[in-house]
Amino acid sequence: MDLSRYLDHTLLKPNAGISDIRNLCDEAKKYGFFSVCVNPFWVKDCKRFLKNSGVKICAVVGFPLGANKTETKALETRVAVKDGADELDMVINIGALKSGNLKGLYEDIRSVVKSAAKRPVKAIIETCYLTAKEKVTVVKLAAKAGASFIKTSTGFGNGGAAQSDIRLIRKTAGGNIKIKAAGGIRSRRKALALISAGADRIGSSAGTDMMRRTGKRGRAF
C-alpha cells in the first residue's frame, strides 16, 4: 500500500504565508500526496504551484466552527470551485445537530454538495463533541444529503481521530460513504491503524515526517 496516496497534506494555520503554501505544494509533489488541504484564500496559489502535478486541491468551508449561515457556506464553496478547488471539506452545523434541527443540518450539507458541482464534499462532524447517537444520526443524514465523505475532525477541537469512531462510521454507513480521519495524526503507526479501521483518507500536517520514515513513496506494507 502506498501511504502517500491516502494523505491530504494539510496547512490551516491562520499565520501561514505564501512561502508556507508554496512549500506545502512542493512537498505534496515530492511525496506524491493525494491533495493539499488549505484555507480558501490559498486555492488560486495552490492551483498555480501544483499545475500539471496531479495533486488535488482541497478547500475547507465554514472552517473551523461550522456556524456560518448556509448561504455563506454555499457561496464560499462556489468561490473555491471557481478558484480551482477539486474537493471541499465542510464543517457541519454542530449546533443545529445538538438542537435537533435535522432539517437545517440536512439543508446545510446539501447546499454545499450542490454548490460543489459534483466535486467530492467531506462533511466534518467534529466527533469529539458528539455522542454515539449523534454520530450515527449525522452520518446517515450526511450520506442522504450527498456528501462523499465523513471527516472526523477539524483538528481545532478538543479531540481528533479515533479508531472507535472510524469503526462506528463504517458500521453505520457501510459502503455508502467514505471516511477521512483527521486530527492529531502525526505518526505512520496511527495513520495505518486508522486505515486498518476503515479510513479511506488521512488528513495530517505531518505527512512529510511519515514519508521520511517510510521512504519517498511511503510504502507501508
Which residue of the set 73, 151, 178, 190 is catalytic? 151
| Cα–Cα distances in angstroms (integers) from residue 139 to residues 1, 3, 106, 130, 176, in the given order | 27, 26, 11, 12, 10
User: For this structure, is 180 an active site residue?
Assistant: yes
pTM for this predicted structure? 0.95
Which residue of the set 8, 45, 86, 89 is catalytic? 89
Helix (H) or strand (E) holding 60, with range, is: strand 56-61
pLDDT for 1: 77
DSSP 128: G
pLDDT, tens digit, 9 for 90 and up, residues 83-124 = 999 999 999 999 999 999 999 999 999 999 999 999 999 999
Report whether pLDDT(133) > 90.
Answer: yes
Q: Which domains does the chain have, with CATH numbers?
A: 3-214 (3.20.20.70)
Report whether pLDDT(158) > 60.
Answer: yes
pLDDT, tens digit, 9 for 90 and up, residues 164-208 = 999 999 999 988 999 999 999 999 999 999 999 999 999 999 999
User: For this structure, is 83 an active site residue?
Assistant: no
Which residue of the set 56, 122, 180, 190 is catalytic? 180
User: For this structure, is 200 an active site residue?
Assistant: no
